[in-house]
Structure 1
């Protein structure tokens, strides 16, 4: 893309601390190679730990005499470890929990995105909004747009600029508000999505060391991320209208930039097919939701008082084990939500595409699914190296040893758990300045962080939630974020002299306010012990020690 003069100016060099971050980050290798180098480092560290005799008592396992099992560091050069890593290479890769979850959800999301449902829905959400509520409408659509993955960046952000300009407001303010919502509010949403599947898959890998029976629940942060949405919305609204837009000054340039693109024209009416498609997609979403409801609740048995049953027994997604509590009996429902969201996206995307004319045959659906898988190529490469790093970390026992020692150190410090979680948010935010990938950072942190917090009585869901808060807030101020240059190009279409320093300075107030708000929310959530999602609590109790 180019600016209004037809030329794309070269990005200006950033100075000061942000310049240091930019230069240091640019020297970092690709995240896939970061994991490769970490594997080599882990081989060296585990060997040193083995000869140093590092060991701890396992918190939940007893030997035949009833004493705690001693967990000792194992060298990556041990013959059994080498044999395992080489012989079971395919199983290590395909058994990496996040891999299956993400690919399944993306099969559905690819259909919805390529059929045009996500783009049209985002346009419909922000057009015809009164000027007073334009900022919160854009911010909310941006946060919800994360369900559409990359589409929110390439569709909503330039569209927000045109809508702001059409309303007589500065288009760059529209860009910053949308960018803050999409990227700064990366984890905030009213619905779980592919990010939940990705992160909880990594969490599940980390939990196994202490609680092999724990199962991933894609809705485990649902209440938390919904609360983030409602808290971040006024923050983005305030920063945009009271801090950023006054600094930008009044806009006098009209609505020229981007108006030649019909997808970026707020005055362009939706076609009858698009309107019909949105209506059909809404019906499809309702049908899928009802199907899941009926598979969780035996409505016939409920109405007849048990004299008749639709299934001849328990509903498929509700455990038949009456000795369990209601929450535990709903575990099949929670774990089925990955499949549920895939089917929801597929049916909604197909319903929209058939009505809008973007899907003409079943071959189009297959092509869209294949396109989504092509887009996941880089993730597959990253997942291969991440899977091997996590496996080697687990085999070395260093994750459990570090978690036990870390938990002991935190207990000895006397820090309250809410403060500990707040510090974890801050650490994740700082790390995010240098490693942009959410999954890469969590794969690095989870093997130590999750078991350590479990030992302190904090659930895996709460550990994941704290990480998500820190991962979001600093996305918008690091030039290492993959979409940062694209956002700069969008801004230069309206203000040609707008540089990387201008964009960074505009996003810093959002980042500060979002991080502060996120930390306060996390601390309050832990202090109050609020549920994080259906069946997901802040507190956690280790399973009883067994032989």
Structure 2
């Protein structure tokens, strides 16, 4: 009965969400509202004074932020002169298109389908969902690769088991975005956030240092929590609510050419060995300074590596399977791969304008600082304030999806405040990361959200923002609640969140 009620409510959300105009129209409407709102707040001379981290020198500085109007002469000039840059610099555009050059060829030649069928042929069905969620979480080591590769792959894996592809998409997305900060290993985000936290902590204690490893214990355990949540929600709530998927267009893969599959795998192994030789040795070409792996050319170029990993075996498979007879066929397959992304590219153009203009107006910054000041004025104890911080971050995250940009703004406000409440910077950073992750999967302003919608549309042209939000909402709520409960227990027991850390000062 309870599950029926949940399904009913999710169906209502999907129905209402999909009754909204096309996402392009929605972003246009948002942009018009932003023009009007920015001018009203500008006319009222809304400003905030705060200490924030200057991204140019990574130092904490006193800053005064004004709301900028888009309807003044300078605002209109900014709009016209930055349209192209807003589009071409949008976070999701480059990674998706580059990855699709490889993934699209591997899919169209039949290699990707063959690989999935062979890989899951003998795999226990009960392990498919937790494996997809876990891989989603682990993919965050390599920045955005999980969004552009693993989310659509999750749908294909579920499809190969005759399960609903949207459930596979949701399982992967819950790990990649909902469990964004959790991981068994350190990711690219850890040194970035810890550096900002250090700068903020030194407002109170000039000698305080926060290391990249200082949240590792908590995030390691959190990985298993997110896997459990993602598996349960997918198998017990989301997939039953979706019903049976029976579109003939996507229920079968091409017949496997075993000879082509063999040589494609050999080419894949060669690609992996070549990349490995440039990455594994501490003095490898793609290692960073002093052998650094986290901040290395390899991590920064991971999307290109993933493109090669799909493209080369895809071409080899296509040549032996006679789908590729010459170089023109190979180029045509790559072109066809990008052609399927045309609607996504159009959507990204309008989404990029809104996101960039919203950031330019400083409205998000003003809201965030005022929210922080409100929390300070409540004069609550450490744990209560930390819980409020988690909830506040979830709401800010819907308007400001870039985690490092939010923390650059919030860290100089909250870190000194919580240090004065006796809470260490490392624990405050954990609270922020929980809130920053939980609502990624339901925020239309998250850079990769339009891409997730476009993947969902592949399996049903009627799928839209409402579909994705309704499917991901249970994950978001349960991850937020249970992850917060884990944090509360951890805090009350005084368990270190990382090596050599303390809970209280």
Find the counterpart in structure 2 of residue 126 from structure 1: 120
TM-score normalised by length of structure 1: 0.58
- Partners of 1:143 and 1:185 within 8 A in 2: yes
Q: Distance in 1 between matches of 2:347 and 2:217?
A: 30
Out of 439, 451, 459, the residue aligned to residue 470 of structure 1 is: 439
3-state secondary structure, aligned to 2:64: strand
3-state secondary structure, aligned to 1:150: helix
Q: Distance in 2 between matches of 1:23 and 1:349?
A: 38
Give the number of the structure whose alpha-carbon radius of gyration is greater.
1
Find the counterpart in structure 1 of residue 158 from structure 2: 157
Name whichever of 39-48 and 176-185 sits farther off. Answer: 176-185
Out of 352, 362, 375, the residue aligned to residue 397 of structure 1 is: 362
Q: Distance in 2 between matches of 1:524 and 1:282?
A: 45
Name whichever of 388-397 and 223-232 sits farther off. Answer: 223-232
Q: Which deviations, in whole Å up to 9, do the C-alpha atoms of 1:2-31 show, x marking residues without a partner? A: xxxxxxxxxx99996445423431332222
Determine if the alignment matches structure 1 residue 378 to structure 2 residue 369.
no
Q: Distance in 2 between matches of 1:90 and 1:41?
A: 21
1:101 to partner: Cα distance = 3.1
In structure 1, the gaps of 5 or more residues are 1-11, 162-171, 193-198, 212-220, 249-255, 300-314, 320-324, 432-440, 490-503, 532-536, 538-547
Out of 298, 318, 336, the residue aligned to residue 283 of structure 2 is: 298
1:408 to partner: Cα distance = 2.5
Q: Distance in 1 between matches of 2:490 and 2:98?
A: 31
Q: Taking structure 1 as reference, are residues 381 and 298 closer, same or farther at Cα in structure 2, changes over 3 Å only?
A: same
- Partners of 2:319 and 2:325 within 8 A in 1: yes
Determine if the alignment matches structure 1 residue 39 to structure 2 residue 31.
yes
Q: Distance in 2 between matches of 1:43 and 1:134?
A: 51
Determine if the alignment matches structure 1 residue 110 to structure 2 residue 79.
no
1:95 to partner: Cα distance = 2.9
3-state secondary structure, aligned to 2:65: strand
Out of 237, 245, 253, the residue aligned to residue 263 of structure 1 is: 253
- Partners of 1:136 and 1:236 within 8 A in 2: no
Name whichever of 403-412 and 381-390 sits farther off. Answer: 403-412
Determine if the alignment matches structure 1 residue 407 to structure 2 residue 372.
yes
- Partners of 1:35 and 1:389 within 8 A in 2: yes
Q: Taking structure 1 as reference, are residues 92 and 57 closer, same or farther at Cα in structure 2, changes over 3 Å only?
A: same
- Partners of 2:100 and 2:337 within 8 A in 1: yes
1:115 to partner: Cα distance = 3.2
Q: Distance in 2 between matches of 1:361 and 1:228?
A: 49
1:355 to partner: Cα distance = 5.2
Out of 62, 71, 74, the residue aligned to residue 77 of structure 1 is: 71
Map 1:5-84 to 2 at 5 A.
17-57=9-49, 59-60=51-52, 68-84=62-78
- Partners of 1:115 and 1:352 within 8 A in 2: yes
1:135 to partner: Cα distance = 0.9
Out of 134, 137, 140, the residue aligned to residue 128 of structure 2 is: 137
1:124 to partner: Cα distance = 2.0
Q: Distance in 1 between matches of 2:441 and 2:106?
A: 24
Q: Distance in 1 between matches of 2:472 and 2:359?
A: 39
- Partners of 1:288 and 1:343 within 8 A in 2: no
Find the counterpart in structure 2 of residue 499 from structure 1: none
Q: Distance in 1 between matches of 2:471 and 2:72?
A: 52
Q: Taking structure 1 as reference, are residues 97 and 71 closer, same or farther at Cα in structure 2, changes over 3 Å only?
A: same
- Partners of 2:133 and 2:231 within 8 A in 1: no
Q: Taking structure 1 as reference, are residues 366 and 524 closer, same or farther at Cα in structure 2, changes over 3 Å only?
A: farther
RMSD: 5.6
- Partners of 1:109 and 1:148 within 8 A in 2: no
1:386 to partner: Cα distance = 2.1
3-state secondary structure, aligned to 2:122: coil
3-state secondary structure, aligned to 1:71: strand
Q: Taking structure 1 as reference, are residues 484 and 425 closer, same or farther at Cα in structure 2, changes over 3 Å only?
A: farther
1:82 to partner: Cα distance = 0.7
3-state secondary structure, aligned to 1:394: helix
Find the counterpart in structure 1 of residue 273 from structure 2: 286
Q: Which deviations, in whole Å up to 9, do the C-alpha atoms of 1:165-189 show, x marking residues without a partner? A: xxxxxxx7x8897566345445489
- Partners of 2:10 and 2:471 within 8 A in 1: no
Find the counterpart in structure 1 of residue 80 from structure 2: 86
1:96 to partner: Cα distance = 2.7
Q: Which deviations, in whole Å up to 9, do the C-alpha atoms of 1:254-312 show, x marking residues without a partner? A: xx998x97639xxx887343244334323322322323446xx436xxxxxxxxxxxxx
1:47 to partner: Cα distance = 1.3
Determine if the alignment matches structure 1 residue 419 to structure 2 residue 411.
no
Q: Distance in 2 between matches of 1:79 and 1:486?
A: 42
Q: Distance in 2 between matches of 1:384 and 1:29?
A: 17
- Partners of 1:187 and 1:225 within 8 A in 2: no
- Partners of 2:49 and 2:62 within 8 A in 1: yes
Name whichever of 375-384 and 357-366 sits farther off. Answer: 357-366
- Partners of 1:399 and 1:448 within 8 A in 2: no
Q: Distance in 2 between matches of 1:385 and 1:505?
A: 23
- Partners of 2:110 and 2:253 within 8 A in 1: no
- Partners of 1:232 and 1:517 within 8 A in 2: no
Q: Which deviations, in whole Å up to 9, do the C-alpha atoms of 1:419-463 show, x marking residues without a partner? A: 3564368659xx9xxxxxxxxx67668698555444435899996
1:77 to partner: Cα distance = 1.3
